[in-house]
A = this chain, B = another copy of it.
Amino acid sequence: MRTMKAAVFLRPGKISLDEKPIPVAGPGEALIKITTTTICGTDVHILKGEFPVEAGRTIGHEPVGVIAELGAGVTGYSVGERVIVGAITPCGQCHPCLDGHQAQCGGKAAGGWRFGNTIDGAQAEYLLVPHAMSNLELIPDGLTDEQVLMCPDIMSTGFGGAERGDIRIGDVVVIFAQGPIGLCATAGAKLKGASLIIVVDSVESRLEVAKRLGADVAIDYTKTDPLSEIMRLTNGRGVDVAIEALGTQQTFESCLRALKPGGTLSSLGVYSGKLSLPLDAFAAGLGDHKIITTLCEGGKERMRRLMNVVASGRVDLEPMVTHRFKLDQIEEAYELFANQRDGVLKVAIVP
């Protein structure tokens, strides 16, 4: 049996590189040889034991690779083609998928998120892709691995915050937190036509990247009170859409307080602990507010669209790759990424 290296969750606090058998593509599946992958904030939640996965699970859900093997019934692709696969891998054929809820595939909450969660993931030399017909998307000629590395998760998620928040031309939008997801939400807000984009974080380097991606005003909340500043900038009107990109009570609540009556809170964070709705900001339920959560849109059509955005040059997320590691160095990569050392935004990991 051929084996491969894989980053495996062992127990809270411990992800290590391990040897595992290389999977074989069954009917409807494809095996891809990973050429580049990365680490996500969610992987850090898993590492810390905040999001439970079973021991022995290979982690990672952001694959760029080459088709190594096609299972029975997977047609229209060839071994050797360069592909990406979304973090979310909808089957396309269950009731929720057919109803447009592909991230909730199978009708379980977050059911479309399989990689590094309910099946083995992408931080390995090989990755078995389920529902390959719905999920393999060829990389357009001329795009590098790093150029498309953000498509499977953070670009899809961040843009999704702007899309499902239904940002319109001329809107004022605030994004709370400018980690990788928040930065992508900023880029998405610009793509959707917001005319004033306000971002809030405390890390100077992230605020700088945010400005390059479309932020008009960057607020360091350790120096300026965001809500006062937002109300000043909007003449007391509040924002049309507030995007939460961290997953804390404070950012969630700040979003709600920043909204105009009738505004939309688009939530991207993964929350833990408790979450409450302050009734003054929520207008006791009379404010015609919308609160919309978004997991991440997957599937090959989504990947096609996102790579088109990259190819068009509309958005350049490659500068978000601040560090590069070999798969052998993955524990070191986690150490850096989990502790947000050295101005890290995203790491590229190459088997």
Measuring CB to CB, which residues of chain A are less than 8 angstroms from any residue of chain B? 27-28, 51, 72-73, 90-104, 107-111, 113, 131, 133-134, 159, 163, 168-172, 188, 190-193, 195-196, 216, 237-238, 247, 260-262, 267-277, 279, 282-295, 299-302, 304-306, 308-309, 311-312, 314
Please determine whether A288 and B282 come into contact, CB atoms closer than 8 angstroms: no
Instruction: Tell whether, in the assembled complex, residue A192 and residue B169 are in contact, meaning their CB atoms are under 8 Å apart.
Output: yes
Output the nearest chain B residue to A291 by Cβ-Cβ distance.
B291
User: Shortest CB–CB separation between residue A230 and chain B, in angstroms?
Assistant: 14
A237 to chain B, nearest CB (A): 6
| Cβ contact within 8 Å between A277 and B277 | yes
- CB < 8 Å neighbour of A73 from B27, B113, B271: B27
Known A98-B299, A98-B300; contact A288-B103, beta-carbon cutoff 8 A = yes
Point out the residue from B272, B282, B285 that lies within 8 Å of A279, measured CB to CB: B272
Pairwise interchain contact A274-B282, C-beta atoms closer than 8 A: no
Kindly state the separation between the CA atoms of A170 and B95 in the bound complex, as whole angstroms: 13
Residue numbers in B under 8 Å from A299 (CB-CB): 98
Q: Across the interface, do B195 and A192 meet the contact criterion of CB distance under 8 Å? A: no
Q: A98 to B104, Cβ gap below 8 A?
A: no
